[in-house]
């Protein structure tokens, strides 16, 4: 019996199961792959060829391992960027039917050779486990799968069958009169990861230091403004969790300052200087930050603040400063109101298409500023955006982060470059020529 013909499973009780000789069958099916949203590209049609390996026979109670081998992915790596070694990871779903039904989570390792431009994708084998609970024939059929690319940023390409897929393997399950080892639970964990996180800076702060904002004028003494007009906030550290294609998490430092303007307050949200080196060329007006400042204390809701787009082109390798973001806070309640960093978004606009990368605060955001407020007609107090207007010159802004950490903002600059838009759109081929033409 060859090594490939035996499925060896080490059960939770330390028992080794020897199943019958394995059988492998190749199956192909029409596939539609959706590039990551950052690319702005249409779906790609292709053919996926896989080989499913599983034991030919087993007994009720056995937990067996199945292997999904990619014979051919749906398309080549586009003629834009070389994918680095060990940056591509597949995950997917294998469907069991017949004597028992189950979704088997399949997961591959992030191991691949360098994949040059315009060359076939090289994806690692995916593996999963299923515990057999009923006698009879169990068929195994490949279903949807996901390709994650971790560099230059974490992106996902989702692929689904566009036709009925034939079974790739069949297991004949006999009634063994009990279990013969094996672990409980039918699927392996992690099969649906959208991972490939590329955090930098560690992401170790969660909400930053104190929650009071008591230093350097960060709070007003009770009973009103006392004639003051300027209210400097306190710099606080925040960890943001970003959605793909952004990084998994980033660290940011944010300061919220206020200036009294009648019954309202003009807000200025500042971030660190030189938060990153631009890894790609970015045209003027392509990147715009904004943030939803969180209200607390007696007041509720958020205040939108927006920064202007970059005035000058950003050069590859040169430091990038994020602009200050401004907005107006109109109090909706009287008493002590707090202001904290909230959801961050970066808008990148290229070729008439806007792409937003939202990043939400992990845990509780630290308070940067506390104000003694007096309720104003039409003020916040539970609304989504107190004050209702932003004072900046930009329009349609997204939440901004002021990150000091290179990781997230590096990803944002990467996003903006047409070359980097490839990111994880590893299944996109022809449409890239159109993008290069517009650049």
Q: Which residue shows structure tokens 């691949």?
A: 112
Beta strands (DSSP E) in 20-87 are 22-34, 44-55, 57-59, 63-72, 76-77
Q: Per residue of the chain (439 residues), what is the pLDDT tens digit?
A: 333 333 333 333 333 333 455 677 789 999 998 877 666 667 889 999 999 999 999 999 999 999 999 999 887 777 667 889 999 999 999 999 999 888 999 999 999 999 998 888 899 999 999 999 999 999 999 999 999 888 777 788 899 999 999 999 999 999 865 433 333 333 333 333 333 333 333 333 333 333 333 333 344 433 456 678 999 999 998 887 777 655 566 677 899 999 999 999 999 998 777 665 554 567 888 878 899 999 999 999 999 999 999 898 877 667 777 789 999 999 999 999 999 999 988 787 766 667 777 888 888 889 999 999 999 999 988 654 433 333 333 333 333 333 334 444 444 444 444 333 333 333 333 333 333 344 3
- By the 10 Å C-beta count (0-12 exposed, 13-18 middle, 19+ buried), 340 is classed as buried
d(CA 81, CA 59) in angstroms, rounded, equals 48
d(CA 173, CA 16) in angstroms, rounded, equals 18
* Residues 428 and 44: beta-carbon distance below 8 Å: yes
- Helix (H) / strand (E) containing 385: none
- By the 10 Å C-beta count (0-12 exposed, 13-18 middle, 19+ buried), 226 is classed as exposed
Domains of the chain as residue ranges with CATH: 3-174 (2.60.40), 230-438 (no CATH)
User: Which of 413, 426, 43, 117 is closest to 247 using CA atoms?
Assistant: 413
The three-state secondary structure class of 288 is strand
* Residues 376 and 319: beta-carbon distance below 8 Å: no
Please give the C-alpha separations between residue 118 and each of 20, 80, 82, 190, 420, in angstroms, as whole numbers: 41, 8, 9, 30, 16
Residue 171 pLDDT: 94
CB atoms inside a 10 Å sphere around CB 166 = 12
DSSP designation for 285: T
- Helix (H) / strand (E) containing 35: none
> Using only C-alpha atoms, what is the Rg of the chain?
27
Q: What is the torsion angle, in degrees rounded to the nearest 10, for the CA atoms of residue 17, residue 22, residue 28 and residue 29?
A: -30
Query: Measured at the alpha carbon of residue 268, what is the angle toward residues 417 and 217, in degrees to the nearest 5?
Result: 135
Q: Is the pTM of this model over 0.75?
A: no
Tell whether the torsion through CA atoms of 114, 117, 119 and 124 is positive or negative.
Answer: positive
How is residue 417 written in tokens? 């470059």
d(CA 32, CA 356) in angstroms, rounded, equals 24
* Residues 213 and 127: beta-carbon distance below 8 Å: no
Residue 234 pLDDT: 94
d(CA 209, CA 367) in angstroms, rounded, equals 9
């Amino acid at each position: 019996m060859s090594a490939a013909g035996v499925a060896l499973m080490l059960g939770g009780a330390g028992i080794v199961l020897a199943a019958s000789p394995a059988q492998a069958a190749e199956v192909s099916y029409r596939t539609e792959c959706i590039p990551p949203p950052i690319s702005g590209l249409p779906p790609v049609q292709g053919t996926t060829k896989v080989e499913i390996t599983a034991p030919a026979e087993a007994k009720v109670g056995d937990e067996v391992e199945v292997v999904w081998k990619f014979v051919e992915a749906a398309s080549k790596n586009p003629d834009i960027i070389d994918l680095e070694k060990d940056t591509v990871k597949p995950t997917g779903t294998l469907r069991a039917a017949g004597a028992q039904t189950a979704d088997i989570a399949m997961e591959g390792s992030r191991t691949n050779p360098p994949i040059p431009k315009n060359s076939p994708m090289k994806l690692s084998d995916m593996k999963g486990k299923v515990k057999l609970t009923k006698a009879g024939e169990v068929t195994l059929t490949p279903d949807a799968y996901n390709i994650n690319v971790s560099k230059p940023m974490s992106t996902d390409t989702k692929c689904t069958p566009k036709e009925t897929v034939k079974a790739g393997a069949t297991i004949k399950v006999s009634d063994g009169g009990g279990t013969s080892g094996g672990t409980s639970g039918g699927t392996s964990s992690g099969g649906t990861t959208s991972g490939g996180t590329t955090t930098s800076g560690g992401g170790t702060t969660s909400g930053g230091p104190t929650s009071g904002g008591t230093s350097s004028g960060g709070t007003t003494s009770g009973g009103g403004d006392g004639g003051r007009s300027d209210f400097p906030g306190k710099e606080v550290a925040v960890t943001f969790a970003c959605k793909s294609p952004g990084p998994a998490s980033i660290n940011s430092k944010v300061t919220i300052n206020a200036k009294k303007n009648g019954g309202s307050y003009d807000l200025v949200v500042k971030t660190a200087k030189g938060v990153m080196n631009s890894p790609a060329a970015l045209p003027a007006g392509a990147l715009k930050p904004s943030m939803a400042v969180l209200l607390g204390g007696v007041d509720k809701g958020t205040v939108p603040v927006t920064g202007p787009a970059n005035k000058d082109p950003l050069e590859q390798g040169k430091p990038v400063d994020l602009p200050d973001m401004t907005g107006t806070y109109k109090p909706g309640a009287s008493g002590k109101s707090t202001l904290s960093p909230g959801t961050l978004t970066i808008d990148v606009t290229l070729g008439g298409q806007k792409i937003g990368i939202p990043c939400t605060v992990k845990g509780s955001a630290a308070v940067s500023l506390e104000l003694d407020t007096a309720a104003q007609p039409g003020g916040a107090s539970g609304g989504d955006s107190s004050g209702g207007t932003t004072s900046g010159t930009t329009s349609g802004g997204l939440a901004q982060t002021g990150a000091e950490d290179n990781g997230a903002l590096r990803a944002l600059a990467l996003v903006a470059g047409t070359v980097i838009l490839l990111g994880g759109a590893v299944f996109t081929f022809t449409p890239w020529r159109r993008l290069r033409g517009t650049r």
